Amino acid sequence: MHEYHKAVAWVEEACKQAEEKNAKKVTALNVTFGESSGYSPEVVKNYFDEAAVGTICEGAKFHVTVTRSMLKCPACGEVFEKKLLDYKCPNCGVEGNPTESGNEVTLDGIEVE
């Protein structure tokens, strides 16, 4: 159900931003989903479409950016992409620590007309 709450929050946020711009309609939302966030962009979009009915966000598209999961090496500081079953630094072979990248679910901006 976390997708539902995110979708409702984005409808409210997009409507608020559109009103501040004196826009008549929200045509698209620019959103970012981390691949490890546990959120499904499709599911959020479905809930968004339902929650947006009757608002100026109705019919808005999602422009989705997906971020990869990145790890940071505690030994040399290298930031590298997490591969399946491979958490080791390409420089020194030390296991990397998780970073914020790959976990974000954010509304970056809206497009209006």
Query: Residue ranges of the alpha helices (H) in 21-95?
Result: 41-51
Q: Which is nearer to Zn ion, 2 or 68 (CB)?
A: 68
Cβ of residue 82: shortest distance to Zn ion, in angstroms? 14
Cβ of residue 91: shortest distance to Zn ion, in angstroms? 4
CA 67-82-96 angle, 5° bins: 120
Cβ of residue 86: shortest distance to Zn ion, in angstroms? 13
Q: Which is nearer to Zn ion, 40 or 91 (CB)?
A: 91
107: Cβ–Cβ under 8 A, 6 or more apart, which residues? 10, 13, 14, 29, 30, 31
Q: Which is nearer to Zn ion, 54 or 77 (CB)?
A: 77
Q: Which residue has the tokens 């981390």?
A: 34
The binding site for Zn ion (CB under 5 A) comprises: 73, 75-76, 78, 89, 91-92
Q: Which is nearer to Zn ion, 14 or 73 (CB)?
A: 73
Residue from 62, 99, 64, 58 nearest 79 by CA: 99
Cβ of residue 99: shortest distance to Zn ion, in angstroms? 14
31, 108 contact by CB (below 8 A): yes
